[in-house]
Amino acid sequence: MAQFLLITDLDHTLVGDSEALARLNQHLSQHRDEYGTILVYSTGRSLTLYQQLLTNQDLLEPDYLVLSVGTVIYPHGSTQPDTAWSEYLSNGWNRDQVLAIASHFSHLVPQPPSEQTDFKVSYFLDGSIANEVIPRLKTALTERGLDIQFVYSSNKDLDILPKKGNKGAAATFLQQKLEMSGDRTVVCGDSGNDVSMFQQAQAKGIIVGNAKPELREWYSTQTSTNTYLAKASCAGGIIEGLQYFGFW
């Protein structure tokens, strides 16, 4: 056993099965004490919604907190986001223009103000019309030269982000900062906003057994053995994957 870097999504990945979460927490805190293993939460939630989750979930303190779909990174204990990351994302991003163009699309229902951040514009978009609306919106935004990407999750959440920022890019940024190689990094997730972690990060991947169709679809196109699809759900799936990769 040795140190590794665990980067995990929260909703329906780490969180969702409290018995398995308690077992995983115990293993990880022991691993941290013995080997200096590093724990990162990477969530779509803003700081407001993350703090809300802490009121009803027993979570270990992470070493880094990646919020708002990879667009905000907080080192442990800091009240200030990592400025190098924000500066990197700000180059080429024009939030006001994104909002102005998106406002013409009546099917887009803005998410609450807490979920709108400097580098993330988020809407609810019904799954039945997403396939029709997203390409039109994409054309409208890219015609103006805007460097953006869409992340659609759970058949309802549409995030518009700077092209350079998502959970995968944030994972790579942390790996470089911490000098952690791909074979000592594990990423875990269940839905669309996690795809970039499996796709971009040089890492072992664990897809939990309760993963959403959009992530399963991505997985079905892969041939690499670096990503493991667990049978168990949520933290139980993470435990299963850590065992599979020899980190348990």
Q: Which residues bind Mg ion (CB under 5 A)?
A: 9, 11-13, 190-191
Say which entry of Mg ion, ligand GLC, none residue 193 contacts (CB below 5 to 8 A, set by partner kind): ligand GLC
Tell me which stretch binds ligand GLC (CB under 6 A): 29-37, 42-50, 97-105, 207-215: 42-50
- Smallest Cα–Cα separation from 242: which of 12, 50, 39, 18? 39
| Binding to ligand GLC, residues 117-136 (CB under 6 A) | 122
Its sign, for the CA torsion 135, 141, 145, 149, is negative
Say which entry of Mg ion, ligand GLC, none residue 157 contacts (CB below 5 to 8 A, set by partner kind): ligand GLC
Min separation Cβ 12 and Mg ion, Å: 4
- Calpha distance 120→172 (Å, rounded): 19
- Residue 24: strand, helix, or coil: helix
Helix axes 18-35, 234-245, angle to 10 degrees: 40
Min separation Cβ 80 and Mg ion, Å: 26
Asked if 28 and 60 touch (Cβ cutoff 8 Å), the reply is yes
Q: Does 9 bind ligand GLC (CB under 6 A)?
A: no
Q: Does 71 bind ligand GLC (CB under 6 A)?
A: no
The count of residues in the chain is 248
Q: Does 194 bind ligand GLC (CB under 6 A)?
A: no
